[in-house]
Structure 1
Amino acid sequence: MRATQTFVDTVVLNYALNAAWQLPVLFCAAWAATRMLRREGQAMEQRIWGAALFVAAIAPAASAAWPSLAELATFLTSLQRHPAAAKNGAVTIHTGPAWTHGSLSFTGPLAHAVSAGLLFVTACFALRLLWSMVQTRRLAREAKALVLSADAAARWKQLCISLRVRPPQIATSATLSGPVVLGVMRPMLLLPPELLSELSADEFTAAMAHELAHVRRRDFALHLVMQIAALPLRWHPLLWLLLARIEQSREAACDAIAADALQGSQAYARSLLKLAAWIGERNPTPNPHALGLFESGPLERRIMLLTERTSTLSRRSSLLLRVGAATLLTASCAAAMALHLGVGAAAAPHQASGPDAPISVKGGVMAGQILTKVAPIYPPDAKVAKIQGSVVLDAVIAKDGTIRDLKVISGPDELQHSAMDAVKQWVYKPYLLNGNPTEVETKITINYSLAK
């Protein structure tokens, strides 16, 4: 039970620790990319912000799962700085199985409390999302089918043709203050019962054009996927700003599609303002489980985007900007996955047997405790014989930080003495448990490699 708890704590804390710094890096890269491609339209901006969200959700786990990226970077750096060493044989040291660029250590109760809190926040938002989907199904089930008049049906049909959208089902719901779209496989457009009678033909057409743009882009399904991807990051303050940027660019992209379909951004903007005033008089209530006309983002920015005039770029300039933005995003993603900070699983150390037995501590934790490290020397005879491989050692570190006992677990015989002679000289800071120096048992891996 304790081993399972420690494992869960380690996984959760490693994910949170890496997400804490990776999300700001990816957010800044996405912001820079959207500034570079601001003339490409709001749909491009939403794709960039959406990609940043998915990478931010995956990168903390991927950086731990793919440590070879970090090792490859270290190896290439060593080749640049010490080409002769690579030619004559290189020795790299890894204190245990944890391939991390940094390590933090928590006491057992603190680690458990933090990980439990993060899991609780994630579970709360997961339940909230599940409840919103239940409410969505209930809203669709209780809606009443709407029969359009001949004139409204003609406008509706023409609008669907203009937007190249298969006409979704239309229904009314008295609980709504404005039009919304919901449904993944079978989109449904829900309207307040008074919308047809109280709005002019132009205002009705503008509202329907915007909602049909959501249907055309399959925004409801994409919104649901993004909400699921954001669940493990809900504790991060910057996530709220990232989601707001996604929602704002999504609504602006639908505005652009609707304005093009109605052949006039100025007229559409005027209709949008009248719709906002009409909905505002009805004391609108938010609908987090559906995509509404005014559910996301300030209206002023959307009107400004509709009415401002932007000069078009040449094909060459557009291509160069896209390549630059893609390079920036790719470099940021690679950095986020290659660099990994770790939380040692030995935060709740395992007592071997007996009160005086050394505790088992992960090598990634003990790496930060080293005061003196002597580098192993590649044995000349082993180089001539082209012998290479890894020597895994089991070390017992005394209370004063010196190596008390050292055993070979595995590795070529010709390389074992070199590894043992070097590691015996290492000195660590005393490992403290409850404020008292404690003997520690850990694993150390020495890699010997020859250039091919």
Structure 2
Amino acid sequence: MNALESWTLGYLLNSIWQVPMIFAAGWIAARILRQSGPRMEHRVWVIAMMVEVFLPACRIRPSDLIHEVLRMVLRGSGAVHDEVRVAIGAGISSGVEMLRVPKSVLAAAVLGYGCSLLYFAGRLGWRLWSTWLMEREAERMVLASGPMTRWNRWGSVFGCEQAEVAVSGMIFGPVTVGIRNSVMIVPPGFLEKITDEDLDAVMAHEFAHIQRRDFAKNLAYGLLSLPVAYHPLLWLTRSRVAESREMVCDAMAAKAVAGSESYARSLLRLASLLVNNEPDRTLHAIGIFDANSFERRVMTLSEERADVRGVRRFVMTAVCGVAGLVMCASALALRVEVSGPAMTSTAQGTNSARLTIPILKNDAVYKRPPVYPVEAKATKNTLNGPVVLAVTIDENGVPTDVHMKKSLRADYDESALTAVKEWRWNPYLLNGNPVAVDTTVTVNYLLGK
């Protein structure tokens, strides 16, 4: 079985059930932290989206991580003495479930997942191309004296003096595009239809997007989320990111203009002006009506919000953080590893089979502990680090071939080889029959102070 195929299918299977867990945790955290303002809620959803992408790829064992942290703490306090730690396998817990699938099923699943990646990547590229084409064909315009004065004022307030304004018939409302050079694009005749108060609201909102670099962030989110772009709850997470992003910009704009109530009235007037138009199809253009959450945005601006600060905010954030860590640890502990039926006949032509696996599910029944080299300790000529051995175990659980995979030094290598050659395992069973297996043993040498 191809290792890449196994990893890909493992990522796919784990993302199917881990993404809902992460979304549920993000939703709960966002509800708890909602009183802290839209900025905190937005951070929660961005973190949730990143975890949805990267957690299915993680193979870290929570127990190993805790052990390593404790070892470092004890070592720093001078409480660690000479120690030899042994890990069997390629860093995967013996408690991890190993799902074995036929080659045909594995290949079909990987092919389907690859096609979905190509589809979503192509759609992303097409929409990015459409956005770039719109920005390229948009006609730069020179504002009249009144709007220009407002443009310069808001550009100075938000620190975005280099931004430009253009007009395009490809959009229905104001949008902002650009990574290095930002451009606010408006429909033809839009600026002539709105009042000065509404123009202030539009400019403040778009400059808030420019200051936050939301166009570049949205592009990065689209690229990073491609591995789980097939998952409906990833779509919902992305929509929550967009919704909370718009509320953050609303809060920034409302603070800059005449206040929340005045800004909310401007949003309602602008919505009634643009209600009969078709929504734009550009994925990355960020606009004042970008998210499908207009009602909640207006209600949020009208609400009396309690100011959550100090200890209360710290406690709420800490509770959400701990809950998130527990959820991630649970997902890692329950992750599924995928392996295919990679049996081959032995060289002797017998009916026995040899199987290469990441780790033995049945641990060794006898393990002679490797001894820290005595001469190395006596002469202070010590090293800290791992010796990795490749081990072939026959159908009776006896190591028939132990050789060096990663050397540390001759005396350390000899200590590890001598010990592991005397180990014994429970036979590994495949469909009820004992088989020979290949695995690895890692011996970590550590001499404390």
**Residue 391 (structure 1) shift:** 6.7
Gaps of 5+ in 1: 78-85
Match of 2:357 among 350, 360, 363: 363
1:246 corresponds to = 241
**Residue 181 (structure 1) shift:** 0.6
**Residue 343 (structure 1) shift:** 1.4
Q: Aligned pair in 2 of structure 1 residues 250, 351: CA closer, same or farther (>3 Å)? A: farther
**Residue 407 (structure 1) shift:** 4.0
Q: Aligned pair in 2 of structure 1 residues 442, 263: CA closer, same or farther (>3 Å)? A: same
> How far apart in 1 are the matches of 2:318 and 2:435?
55
Aligned partner of residue 429 in structure 1, secondary structure:
strand
1:60 corresponds to = 56
Q: Are 1:14 and 2:18 matched, yes or no?
A: no
Deviations 1:342-381 (A, max 9, x none): 212x44445565864754423347x45x5xx6621547x9
Q: Aligned pair in 2 of structure 1 residues 414, 354: CA closer, same or farther (>3 Å)? A: closer
Deviations 1:276-331 (A, max 9, x none): 12211123343323112222122111111110001213423223333433444455
> How far apart in 2 are the matches of 1:76 and 1:43?
32
> How far apart in 2 are the matches of 1:144 and 1:391?
66
**Residue 230 (structure 1) shift:** 0.3
Q: Are 1:46 and 2:42 matched, yes or no?
A: yes
> How far apart in 1 are the matches of 2:418 and 2:137?
78
Match of 2:138, as an amino acid? A
Q: Aligned pair in 2 of structure 1 residues 275, 167: CA closer, same or farther (>3 Å)? A: farther
Deviations 1:155-211 (A, max 9, x none): 222233333432511110012111111110001110001212222222232222221
Match of 1:415, as an amino acid? A
- Comparing 386-395 with 222-231, greater Cα deviation is found at 386-395
Aligned partner of residue 186 in structure 1, secondary structure:
coil
Contact 2:399/2:421, CA 8 A, preserved across alignment: no
Match of 1:363, as an amino acid? I
Match of 2:357, as an amino acid? G
Contact 1:135/1:289, CA 8 A, preserved across alignment: no
Q: Are 1:441 and 2:434 matched, yes or no?
A: no
Q: Are 1:156 and 2:151 matched, yes or no?
A: yes
Q: Are 1:415 and 2:415 matched, yes or no?
A: no
Match of 1:272 among 267, 292, 295: 267
- Comparing 119-128 with 17-26, greater Cα deviation is found at 17-26
> How far apart in 2 are the matches of 1:336 and 1:279?
45
Aligned partner of residue 177 in structure 1, secondary structure:
coil
> What TM-score, normalized to structure 2?
0.80
> How far apart in 1 are the matches of 2:161 and 2:40?
24
Match of 1:315, as an amino acid? G
Q: Are 1:186 and 2:181 matched, yes or no?
A: yes
Match of 1:15, as an amino acid? Y
**Residue 34 (structure 1) shift:** 2.3
Deviations 1:411-450 (A, max 9, x none): 646524641xx32xx2443438xxxx68543336486989
2:207 corresponds to = 212
Q: Aligned pair in 2 of structure 1 residues 90, 303: CA closer, same or farther (>3 Å)? A: same
1:341 corresponds to = 336
**Residue 383 (structure 1) shift:** 9.3
Deviations 1:223-263 (A, max 9, x none): 11111110011122221111111010001111111111112
Sequence identity, in percent? 27
2:394 corresponds to = 396
Q: Aligned pair in 2 of structure 1 residues 88, 209: CA closer, same or farther (>3 Å)? A: closer
Aligned partner of residue 40 in structure 2, secondary structure:
helix
Aligned partner of residue 188 in structure 2, secondary structure:
coil
- Comparing 9-18 with 115-124, greater Cα deviation is found at 9-18
Q: Are 1:375 and 2:370 matched, yes or no?
A: no
1:229 corresponds to = 224
Q: Aligned pair in 2 of structure 1 residues 286, 274: CA closer, same or farther (>3 Å)? A: farther
Match of 1:33 among 26, 29, 36: 29
**Residue 147 (structure 1) shift:** 2.2
Contact 2:158/2:211, CA 8 A, preserved across alignment: yes
Q: Aligned pair in 2 of structure 1 residues 190, 442: CA closer, same or farther (>3 Å)? A: same
> How far apart in 1 are the matches of 2:65 and 2:316?
30
Contact 2:198/2:266, CA 8 A, preserved across alignment: yes
2:301 corresponds to = 306
> How far apart in 1 are the matches of 2:367 and 2:4?
39
> How far apart in 2 are the matches of 1:170 and 1:91?
64
Match of 2:245, as an amino acid? R
> How far apart in 2 are the matches of 1:214 and 1:91?
52
2:429 corresponds to = 429
> How far apart in 2 are the matches of 1:350 and 1:211?
63
Contact 2:402/2:421, CA 8 A, preserved across alignment: no
> How far apart in 2 are the matches of 1:211 and 1:448?
56
Structure richer in helix, relative to its length: 1
2:90 corresponds to = 97
Match of 2:320, as an amino acid? A
Q: What is the count of residue pairs matched by the alignment?
A: 419
> How far apart in 2 are the matches of 1:93 and 1:282?
63
Q: Aligned pair in 2 of structure 1 residues 181, 115: CA closer, same or farther (>3 Å)? A: same
Aligned partner of residue 140 in structure 1, secondary structure:
helix
Aligned partner of residue 235 in structure 1, secondary structure:
coil
Q: Aligned pair in 2 of structure 1 residues 393, 278: CA closer, same or farther (>3 Å)? A: same
Q: Aligned pair in 2 of structure 1 residues 382, 157: CA closer, same or farther (>3 Å)? A: closer
Match of 1:109 among 104, 111, 124: 104
> How far apart in 2 are the matches of 1:280 and 1:450?
69
Aligned partner of residue 185 in structure 2, secondary structure:
strand
> How far apart in 2 are the matches of 1:389 and 1:157?
65
1:172 corresponds to = 167
Match of 1:147, as an amino acid? V
Match of 1:71 among 59, 64, 70: 64
Q: CA RMSD in A?
A: 3.6
> How far apart in 1 are the matches of 2:55 and 2:341?
23
> What TM-score, normalized to structure 1?
0.80
